[in-house]
């Protein structure tokens, strides 16, 4: 069993009213190496910033003298009932943000009634998470060269009763994140005297990490050919990702997995149509949180042309830049069927462990529910673009 989270002294209980409160706590409690890994983008970080700031360009229409009682945010994502149309996105290295981090996040998501998606590059393994949860979770996979490893990963996910697979297609080539390079953040992390000194200032984080056996990439070590310990992981990682990936290769992955399939990393209508053609059940409009192609459009700007292209052929979700329930509502109003949060739940995890993830979900739900009511809607299923004021040219009028 994972260890319980360290309790806050009653006299020091933090008042959390917004996701930013969790981010500030997170920054104080987690080593700089892992904070920077979460809170950074590639190159100049333009796309990382605009993923969030572009939501601010969308305005709500306030309605009054309308019945706002009996509101419901309940919805469905790829046929699964959810308490709100929000999923916890796959984030690598989460078990280094807080000990047993993936287990704690999955348990928080299960209790709240939203999907949790486990990253291939997680610290806790598929089996670890499955043995500590009862609700099926989703499994994210990368597009790797090694067929045996890929088939084994899908088989392990099936054995763990994962209810969907999420294929990330935008990581054939790694975008440079300056802070990660300077911090020695790699797979596995390269510890330096400076990073070790910083870790020594994070006593509570360190106490947790000392008491868990889960400190390495649980889905890789012992499962990938030739990777028997952390020291052999870096060579495998450098060679594993498939730069020659094409849609025929994705069709091969589709044959390896016969359950519901989501393709993550779609930013162009042409790629969205290709995803329809390979038999995906949903796509996620995503630029990898601004961590891959810097200078790309924000996900919220890219959403509408993709929706126009695919129509009702496939379920369309979105991630990147969502930091509040208001952002979720704007994404749903623009036509998405689900919104994925990454950094928001990692802030909560790093700040407070499992209760922090729960608190992040509570904050987002309250903001979503209240804002929906103030826009004159009582059911998330009835939310549409009419609740928004959208600037002309928001989704593109390019030369």
Question: Is residue 43 within 8 Å of residue 50, measured between CB atoms?
Answer: no
C-alpha count within 13 angstroms, C-beta hemisphere, residue 295:
4
Options 98, 288, 317, 365, the catalytic residue: 288
Please say if 317 is a catalytic residue.
Answer: no
Question: Is residue 340 within 8 Å of residue 306, measured between CB atoms?
Answer: no
Question: Is residue 392 within 8 Å of residue 143, measured between CB atoms?
Answer: no
User: Cβ–Cβ contacts within 10 Å for residue 178, how many?
Assistant: 14
Q: Could you list the active site residues?
A: 288
């Amino acid at each position: 069993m994972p260890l319980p989270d360290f309790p806050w002294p009653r006299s020091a209980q933090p008042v959390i009213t917004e996701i930013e409160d969790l981010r500030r706590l997170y920054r104080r409690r987690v080593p700089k190496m892992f904070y920077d890994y979460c809170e950074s983008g590639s190159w100049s970080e333009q796309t990382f910033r605009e993923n969030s700031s572009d939501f601010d360009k969308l305005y709500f229409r306030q309605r009054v003298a309308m019945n706002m009682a009996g509101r419901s945010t309940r919805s469905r994502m790829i046929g699964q009932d959810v308490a709100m149309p929000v999923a916890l996105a796959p984030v690598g290295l989460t078990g280094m943000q807080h000990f047993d981090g993936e287990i704690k996040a999955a348990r928080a998501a299960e209790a709240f009634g939203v999907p949790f998606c486990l990253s291939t590059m997680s610290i806790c393994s598929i089996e670890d998470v499955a043995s500590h949860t009862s609700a099926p979770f989703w499994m994210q996979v990368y597009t790797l060269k090694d067929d045996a490893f890929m088939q084994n990963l899908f088989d392990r996910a099936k054995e763990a009763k994962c209810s969907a697979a999420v294929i990330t297609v935008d990581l054939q080539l790694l975008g440079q994140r300056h802070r990660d390079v300077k911090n020695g953040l790699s797979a596995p992390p390269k510890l330096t005297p400076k990073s070790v000194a910083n870790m020594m200032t994070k006593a509570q984080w360190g106490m947790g990490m000392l008491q868990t056996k889960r400190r390495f990439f649980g889905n890789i070590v012992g499962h990938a050919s030739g990777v028997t310990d952390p020291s052999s992981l870096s060579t495998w990682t450098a060679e594993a990702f498939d730069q020659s990936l094409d849609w025929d290769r994705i069709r091969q992955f589709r044959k390896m997995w016969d359950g519901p399939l989501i393709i993550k990393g779609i930013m162009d209508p042409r790629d969205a149509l290709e995803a329809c053609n390979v038999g995906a059940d949903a796509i996620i409009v995503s630029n990898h949180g601004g961590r891959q192609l810097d200078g790309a459009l924000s996900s919220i700007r890219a959403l509408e042309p993709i929706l126009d292209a695919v129509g009702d052929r496939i379920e369309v979700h979105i991630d990147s830049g969502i930091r509040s329930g208001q952002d979720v509502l704007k994404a749903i109003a623009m036509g998405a069927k689900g919104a994925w949060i990454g950094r928001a739940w990692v802030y909560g995890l790093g700040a407070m462990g499992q209760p922090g993830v729960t608190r992040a979900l509570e904050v987002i739900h309250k903001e979503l529910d209240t804002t929906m009511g103030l826009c004159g809607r009582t059911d998330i299923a009835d939310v549409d673009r009419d609740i928004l004021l959208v600037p002309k040219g928001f989704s593109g009028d390019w030369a």
